Amino acid sequence: MIESKSYYFNTFHVDEATLERLIQEALHGGGSYADLYFENTTYGNLLLRDGAVTSGGNHIDFGVGVRVLSGEKTGYAYSESTAWADMLSCARAAALIAESPSEVSPYGSKVPSRGEPNPAADRYPVKENWRVLPMASYLPFLQKLEAEVKRRDARVEKVMANLAFQLSDILMYNSSRELKWDSRPMGSVSLTVVFRQGQQVENKSTSRSFRCGAEMLSGSLIEALASDVVKGIDERFAAKRPKGGQMSVVMGAGASGILLHEAMGHAFEADFNRKGTSIFADKMGRQICPKGIQIIDDGTLTGNRGALNYDDEGIPGQKTYMVEDGVLTSYLHDRISAAHYGVRPTGNGRRESFRYAPLPRMRATYMESGEAKAEDLISACKKGIYVDEFSNGQVQIGEGDFTFYVKSGFLIEDGRLTQPVKDINIIGNGPEALSDIRGVAGDLAIDPGAWTCGKEQSVPVSCGIPTVLIGGLTVGGE
Amino acid sequence: MDALLTAEEIALARHCLQYAQKQGASAVRITLTKSLLNLTGILNGEVDKVAHALDRSLQLQLFVDGKYGAFSSNRLEKEGLEGFVRDAIGTVKMLEPDPCRTLPAPERCARDARDGKELALYDPAYENLSAQDRKELALSSMAWPQKASLEQGFTLIAEEGEYSDSVFDSLTLDSQGLHARHTETSFEIGYESTVEDAEGNHYSSFWWDAAPRLKDLSLEGCARKACEKAAAQIGPQSVPSGKYTLIVDSECSSKLLTPVLSALGGYSLQQKNSFLADSLGKKLFPEQLSIVDKPRTVGQTGCRLFDSEGVATRELPIIERGVVKNWFINTYIAAKTGWEASVEDATRVVLEPVGGCKTQQELLEKMQDGILVTGFNGGNSNPATGNFSYGIEGFLIRGGKAVHPVREMLITGNFLSLWSRLAATADDARPCLSKCIPTLAFTGVDFSA
């Protein structure tokens, strides 16, 4: 969603002369680059619990962040007011970094991001603006969602549904005189249901999240969420902990993209490589997984949770091939790491809000489809596990050890799905797992859930993958 | 300097409270917060980052016509806030009614949190720190210049550190006359080191400390400890899957208690999404386990005189000799269920040491064999069943000594059965953590590798 330039100037009470003056103040101490990030975000939320929408609210977050770079060193300060005196105080605090002089790097010169934002190229067009519609208009969606869940399964004991939405107006300006603006919508619905079967209690959760307006609150979304949350509940009640140990793992299409996020995505973020801490720090140009595999981080998927018209440094959103034909071809860069490596920024400079300096972060990370069939990958396993529902993951950048938590799946015995399993953690090593990919199916799916990455700051991301067979990972069990 | 909140800001909060009542709110609670943070980051012996952050927020909880909503804004201009309050009241009126939403009874609320400094968590030393002081504090802990002496089978390839100090000031007011203020300072140092072994493998680890008072902050050797921890991980070996004694370092032992505390929370219990449903008064844990909430311990990290509703905190037995003694029930859940109200959440949780060991080394010698867990790598638990599975890092222990680091291991089980196998603890809880949990030892835990 992109408004006119004057809309953003009015929102933040600034003009181009003020922006330039502030940048000059920020560079007064000798910094080599400076940028400004203005943000006006309104959040809203409604919560259905115990059969009624009895809680909700709105929240406003407004301010400007000033960053000064001195070589690769960062000074950062922010103000919750755009009054000149407050912004000036900020600029001077950030400028302190220049007291520790450093080699100058060309942060702006390699960046072809001149020109004004083009509404026609908007990656998140909005039909129904979250800010304009009254909160009451969203209540029926949550009420119908609860009714549909209860209609589908008599074992439903409790339904908790949360609608969260936000719209962020962003204005960016830097010492290369690049001016960019954007308005980023996000709507998310999360659903948690408690089921009871006799004395046994189980819970199940699902979510949907998109960069779009309130038009997402449709009947088809109710169908999708209700269907998701009751699907597999019989198996959940029947599920057991498997016997733990190392075994083959077939990762179902879609949410299994968490493998890419944890096993390699973070290790490809260039700040870890610039500092030499990543296990992939010396692997650029080398074969890191079997030939034929392409792994991508993409900010161009319309309406996707990770989509960006511009990143938080004003670099145009783009699609970045990290792995081509099995070879590591690109890290994910912000301006600092791009200058360090002498390459163009990849549009991965992201931040949680104006309170944070940007870092290299993922957007939508996925693997392109292969040529195998999912059922053939399963039947190729004599003993293993099939997983398709996850809650969270983590990685140790230096060692490359990653984990992800599996909410549900199945044992694979003699090439067939047998006993349902649940609540197990899986652990592996990034480079070893990537090189141990035995097959990739042709069924790529991007997961539509509300994934959030928490590397120092929280940013919305998404992930996807086709069905993939990995030769050996360690599976938790009894 | 009188902490952070100014008289004008407090007057504005009082004005909003009265304005909301005039606009039709039957009850109002307002929490005004302000914080100031200064941070200096170090990368490989040089200043890499400085940050300065001043935050303000006004949170508004409105009770209108039997309906409830929560709102916040960081735009604290009077005229704009009046419009925000009017819009908020309009929004609340659109929601469905809930008669259980009320302010807590005044007699349950804190009356002794007047100036916010009653718990002695405020150190005026932060007022006099200059940018140069902060830089020197950040650099004083680093090990980087001593890189050469650390090269014994490894190379220190990256060392990142941060020193920060902050002050947090909050005031909670309500339409029944509540005035509850909390002010605290915090001083923190943290270092993360990455080392490389002869084969080019990388190992990272960190160490940190924090204290409400600058003089209590342990700056000495922070980076060296991080480096030593990273180097100790060199040469990990696989250990066969099986049942082992699990010994969890006090740095991370709270990971095994947090899901238990969550399961004793009112929302989880009321939503039947808790493996400790119907647990009150029942002996579900071993005789030797006693856990107490001590929120009013003067000068200790995390302590508070009141919870988010303004309800006065008090010392509360949570689990006493294995018996569940209290749940965390706020005013809303109490009204909804008929359960007795307590406080919203635990504040400073203390697990009473078991078995007489003072140090972790004494505990290792007592247990003799097992796996010492020094960190968790991912994992999660199921709140409804209490089943868990976590990735771990640590060391194989034989004869009370660390033999070698372990790799790619997981522990899996159920919290009730895990805690039933609590064998002993050390007495080494870290004072910088709000959950004072010592090193713990459990027998017969499933490890996968």
Beta carbons of B45 and B180 less than 8 angstroms apart: no
Calculate mean pLDDT across residues B97-112: 96
* pTM higher than the cut 0.95: no
Tell whether A349 is within 8 A of chain B (Cβ). no
**pLDDT of the residue at A244:** 85
Partner-chain contact A423 B382, CB within 8 Å: yes
**pLDDT of the residue at A107:** 58
Measured between CA atoms, how close is B112 to chain A, in angstroms?
30
**pLDDT of the residue at B418:** 97
| Band of residue A38 on the pLDDT scale cut at 50, 70, 90 | very high
Using a 10 angstrom Cβ sphere, with 0-12 exposed, 13-18 middle and 19 or more buried, the burial of residue B7 is exposed
Tell whether A458 is within 8 A of chain B (Cβ). no
Partner-chain contact B378 A394, CB within 8 Å: yes
| Band of residue B145 on the pLDDT scale cut at 50, 70, 90 | low
Q: CA–CA separation, A130 vs B310, rounded Å?
A: 33
| Among chain B residues, CA nearest to A86 | B54
DSSP-derived letter for residue A262 is: I
* B409 vs A contacts (CB less than 8 Å): 427, 474
Interface test with A, best of B98, B192, B194, B390 (most A CBs within 10 A): B194
Tokens 């949680």 locate to A352
What would the DSSP string read from start to end of A171-185? EEEETT--EEEEEEE
Least confident segment among A76-85, A98-107, B48-57: A98-107
| Band of residue B151 on the pLDDT scale cut at 50, 70, 90 | low
Measured between CA atoms, how close is B414 to chain A, in angstroms?
10
Q: Which B-chain residues 274-333 have CB contacts (< 8 A) with chain A? A: 277
A340: which 2 tokens? 């360090």
Interface test with A, best of B9, B29, B44, B54 (most A CBs within 10 A): B54
Q: Which B-chain residues 149-208 have CB contacts (< 8 A) with chain A? A: 157-158, 160, 194, 200-204
Strands (E), A331-415: 349-350, 359-360, 364-367, 383-395, 401-413
Measured between CA atoms, how close is B356 to chain A, in angstroms?
31
Tell whether A58 is within 8 A of chain B (Cβ). yes
Q: Express each pLDDT in A404-426 by its tens digit.
A: 888 889 999 999 999 999 888 89
Q: What class has domain A5-236?
A: alpha beta
Least confident segment among A116-125, A294-303, B328-337: A116-125
| Cβ–Cβ pairs < 8 A, chains A and B | 240
Among B43, B96, B446, beta carbon nearest to A52: B96
B380: which 2 tokens? 């999660």
Domain locations along chain B: 7-231, 242-448
Q: Express each pLDDT in A191-229 by its tens digit.
A: 999 999 999 999 999 999 999 999 999 999 999 999 999
Q: Express each pLDDT in A378-406 by its tens digit.
A: 999 999 999 988 888 888 877 788 888 88
Domain locations along chain A: 5-236, 245-476
Q: Express each pLDDT in A421-445 by its tens digit.
A: 988 889 888 889 999 999 999 999 9
A35: which 2 tokens? 């940028």
Q: Express each pLDDT in A320-346 by its tens digit.
A: 999 999 999 999 999 988 988 889 999
Amino acid identity at A109:
S
Q: Express each pLDDT in A264-319 by its tens digit.
A: 888 888 887 777 777 777 788 999 999 999 999 999 999 999 999 999 999 999 99
In CATH, which superfamily holds the domain spanning B7-231?
Answer: PmbA/TldD superfamily (3.30.2290.10)
Higher-scoring residue by pLDDT: A185, B203: A185
**pLDDT of the residue at B150:** 54
Tell whether A475 is within 8 A of chain B (Cβ). yes
Q: CA–CA separation, B261 vs B435, rounded Å?
A: 11
> How many CB atoms lie under 10 A from the CB of residue B442?
23
Measured between CA atoms, how close is A138 to chain B, in angstroms?
10
Among B158, B203, B384, beta carbon nearest to A201: B384
| Band of residue A109 on the pLDDT scale cut at 50, 70, 90 | very low
Instruction: List phi, psi (to 5°) of A131.
Output: -75, -25
**pLDDT of the residue at B148:** 44
Among A59, A63, A476, beta carbon nearest to B410: A476
Instruction: List phi, psi (to 5°) of B199.
Output: -90, 0
**pLDDT of the residue at A114:** 62
- Helix axes of B7-22 and B78-94: crossing angle, nearest 10 degrees: 40
Please determine, for residue B393, whether its predicted confidence score (pLDDT) is greater than 80: yes
Amino acid identity at B92:
V
Please determine, for residue A103, whether its predicted confidence score (pLDDT) is greater than 80: no
